Chain A
């Protein structure tokens, strides 16, 4: 495995009184695409939010490019080059598409120019003046991904980017993720749909009850299919 860009060690996280993560351990190498798989409520989304600094209380260690971020507020973490595409997409209703796209500030050089984002997501270019939430679900997902590509962030946290989308759009998003990987971006993906995950990821972590219980390299998905089915309860 390449040198770890993100190293999470013994991560504990809480929402109010509830203890969600019980010692997560995971690593994501520079340029890797890694998936968190697991049942609903296993703590996958919370893991992404904890890495982003968006949960109330957390402990353990989250090192990004060697910098410890466990004590930093989310705006500082973002400035290091971490960006989140949230599960609910987080498109702002009071902003038009263009404002949504330009909202996240550039945090590092090397972000994707707007033209390239429009090449990936041609629909966005024709809808720039529309209200953000007037877009279709697929277009909103493209907008949510597109806006974090501009910022130069080199670790993208994508929370269920294919949820509720038509198969042809899921394919399109798969292609985008492969293109981003070719460009050298590092991606930590949360997915329910491991058939989709298998088409884009290098490795899969299995999450259960707030910790990682197994890791399966993508090459072994075929041979470990039974085990995966047991983990995911499909």
Chain B
């Protein structure tokens, strides 16, 4: 068996796969954050809590109504998205004229409340969610073993990220969104209902978090704190990629997941901090982020 820099390939590719899966979650979550920040100017600290809600909605659908993984993959994001629309309509929409800080504080408070509520009801031990039958088992790729479900997570995230990118960069609706990100007052003066577009964008960004939550449910146990563990890293990813850049969020998400995986192989001690080290370096050299435009 060959070795690479003294590392067995199983270890290397195993960690790369783990990195890719983490990257898939980073990408899907930071994509939603970037969308929301671009149009709403709000740093959505509730994103992690809404991701956790996605996983819990899937768990509840399964255990209360017997609705399985595949319908949940669609239903849970829709329900989380609707909840987001309610939040935007009743609370966030009052903050747009104020400083970023108010949105951050409000969404941070919401995150604590949502997480507290789920913790009160379900504890912190974590609830199991079964892998759907169609995705049980795995493939022996020769150099490593690939569990089917993990492969699916990467594929599904890539698909949803690409679809979102296409929607925003290549369609008419997306051109409204990009234009409104630059100059909402003018876009509205052309006859477009920008407040409604903002509401729907928040709903969509949050639904992406819900989608990631359902994907995560069978891998990590469904746990009220699963979002807050992840969201800090995701914010670092967004800062590195550049706030408000769609492709930047996707590429940085997957890229940093891999970097984290590689760090686990070559210098495990740094694996928890490597993303923050990169963030610090990027902030010094390119404060608007790798793909961001200064504004």
Contacts and interface: CB of A to CB of B under 8 A. Distances in A.
Contact of B191 (A79, A86, A94, A99): A79
A53 interface: yes
B178 interface: yes
B10 interface: no
Interface residues of B, number: 19
A75 B192 contact: yes
Contact of B178 (A75, A83, A86, A92): A92
A223 B177 CA distance: 51
Contacts of A112: none
Interface in A71-89: 73-75, 77-79, 83-84, 86
Nearest to B178: A94
A78 B189 contact: yes
Interface stretch (B23-31, B100-108, B180-188, B257-265): B180-188
A105 interface: yes
A105 B192 contact: yes
Contacts of B190: 75, 78, 83, 103-105, 148, 151
B186 A75 contact: no
A53 B172 CA distance: 25
A54 B186 CA distance: 8
Contact of B175 (A74, A79, A83, A103): A103
Nearest to B176: A103
Contacts of A75: 188-194
B179 interface: yes
Interface in A45-76: 52-54, 73-75
A92 B172 contact: no
B178 A95 contact: yes
A74 B183 contact: no
A94 B182 contact: yes
Given A90-B183, A94-B181, A94-B182, A53 B189 contact: yes
Contacts of A219: none
Contacts, number: 57
Interface residues of A, number: 25
Interface in B255-295: 293
Contacts of A107: 191
In this complex, the member of A53, A84, A92 whose beta carbon has the largest number of chain B beta carbons within 10 angstroms is A92
Contacts of B188: 73-75, 78
Contacts of A213: none
Contacts of B185: 54, 74
A146 to B, nearest CB: 13
A36 to B, nearest CB: 18
B275 to A, nearest CB: 27
Given A74-B188, A86-B186, A90-B186, A103 B179 contact: yes
A95 B175 CA distance: 7
A154 to B, nearest CB: 14
Contacts of B189: 52-54, 74-75, 77-78, 84
B179 to A, nearest CB: 5
A215 interface: no
A128 interface: no
Given A54-B189, A84-B189, A94 B179 contact: yes
Contact of A93 (B176, B182, B192): B182
Residue among B178, B181, B185, B189 with max Cβ neighbours from chain A (10 Å) = B189
A95 B293 CA distance: 14
Interface in A132-171: 148, 151
Nearest to A53: B189
A141 to B, nearest CB: 15
> What are the 10 tightest A-B residue pairs by CB atom distance, in nearest-first order?
A78-B191, A104-B190, A94-B178, A74-B189, A99-B175, A90-B186, A92-B179, A75-B188, A79-B191, A74-B188
Interface of B: 172, 175-176, 178-179, 181-183, 185-194, 293
Interface of A: 52-54, 73-75, 77-79, 83-84, 86, 90, 92-95, 99, 102-105, 107, 148, 151
Given A73-B188, A95-B179, 12 more contacts: A52-B189, A74-B188, A75-B193, A77-B189, A83-B190, A90-B183, A92-B179, A93-B182, A102-B175, A103-B175, A104-B191, A148-B190
